[in-house]
């Protein structure tokens, strides 16, 4: 980048959740591509934390703490604290059989577990945060996977900026995944201009929108407060906010 960025982003924080099926410390192709936005953000002073979801015991279910519903262990409450502390959430997932990973689906289900909670302004708890996704694989499906992940995030209250997804896939069928070494010594995908461009656009658009939302104090709390709706707006739309 030859120009100076338009704002200071050093007070922002980002959480990157890699939904690979490979437990640490195994190499993850998804993690390799996630390092592109991570590198951009860290250069701007953003506090970034990366978590590999498969390393955690995220119990199945859509309650805030599944140990209260029969699970022996649930690491979601601790991960949720990281989610809540972050201005930006990026979910990375590989493609399997044309779909996001099972780990990614589990993560979105657990995000949904908090959908009944509200922020200080009476909005749903994820309002004021931005979300995006990174997808990798060696079969078709980047846009299909991204639309499901991004739909889930915005439905829960995240704000999704323009071009908030990026990814890389190789040729259809068995073959190298992102970052794998080819016979000529090069590494698959690292020289792909389309992937580099879209990943960079995603990283900056997430930063810009997070900056705008933080400076504005989040999404304006008018016409979208669950608390105001439950105080009488349901019956004939008495509350002027909903007219």
From the number of C-beta atoms within 10 Å of its C-beta (0-12, 13-18, 19+), residue 148 rates as: middle
Pair 91, 160: CB distance under 8 Å: no
Strand partners, 51: 17
Per-residue pLDDT of the chain (243 residues; tens, 9 = 90+): 557 899 999 999 999 999 999 999 999 999 999 999 999 999 999 999 999 999 999 999 999 999 999 999 999 999 999 999 999 999 999 999 889 999 999 999 999 999 889 999 999 999 999 999 999 987 778 899 999 999 999 999 999 999 999 988 877 666 777 777 777 777 776 777 788 899 999 999 999 999 999 999 999 999 999 878 866 555 545 555 555
SS3 38: helix
Q: What pLDDT is stored for residue 239 in this prediction?
A: 58
Q: What pLDDT is stored for residue 174 in this prediction?
A: 67
Q: What pLDDT is stored for residue 80 in this prediction?
A: 98
Give 71-94 as a 3 state SS string: CCCCCHHHHHHHHHHCCEEEEEEE
Distances (CA, A) of 188 to 21, 50, 176, 179: 20, 23, 7, 5
Q: What pLDDT is stored for residue 193 in this prediction?
A: 79
Distances (CA, A) of 51 to 69, 79, 83, 239: 25, 9, 11, 43
At 36, which helix (H) or strand (E)?
Answer: helix 29-43
At 50, which helix (H) or strand (E)?
Answer: strand 47-52
**Which CATH fold topology does 13-242 show?**
Rossmann fold (3.40.50)
**Could you give the CA distance from residue 42 to residue 108 in angstroms, rounded to a whole number?**
26
């Amino acid at each position: 980048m030859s120009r100076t960025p338009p704002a200071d982003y050093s007070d922002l924080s980002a959480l990157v959740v890699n939904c690979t099926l490979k437990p640490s410390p195994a190499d993850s192709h998804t993690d390799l591509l996630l390092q592109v936005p991570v590198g951009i953000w860290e250069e701007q002073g953003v506090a970034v934390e990366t978590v590999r979801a498969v390393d955690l015991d995220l119990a199945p279910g859509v309650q805030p703490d599944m140990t209260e519903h029969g699970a022996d262990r649930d690491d979601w409450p601790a991960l949720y604290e990281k989610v809540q502390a972050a201005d930006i959430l990026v979910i990375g997932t590989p493609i399997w059989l044309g779909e996001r990973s099972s780990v990614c689906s589990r993560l979105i289900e657990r995000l949904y577990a908090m959908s009944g909670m509200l922020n200080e302004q009476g909005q749903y708890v994820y309002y004021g945060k931005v979300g995006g996704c990174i997808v990798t694989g060696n079969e078709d499906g980047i846009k299909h996977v991204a639309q499901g992940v991004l739909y889930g995030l915005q439905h829960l209250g995240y704000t999704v900026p323009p071009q908030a997804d990026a990814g890389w896939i190789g040729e259809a069928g068995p073959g190298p995944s992102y970052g794998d070494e080819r016979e000529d010594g090069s590494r698959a995908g690292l020289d792909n201009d389309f992937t580099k461009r879209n990943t960079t656009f995603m990283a900056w658009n997430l930063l810009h929108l997070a900056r705008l939302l933080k400076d504005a104090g989040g999404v304006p709390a008018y016409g979208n407060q669950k608390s105001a709706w439950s105080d009488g707006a349901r019956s004939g739309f008495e509350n002027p906010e909903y007219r």
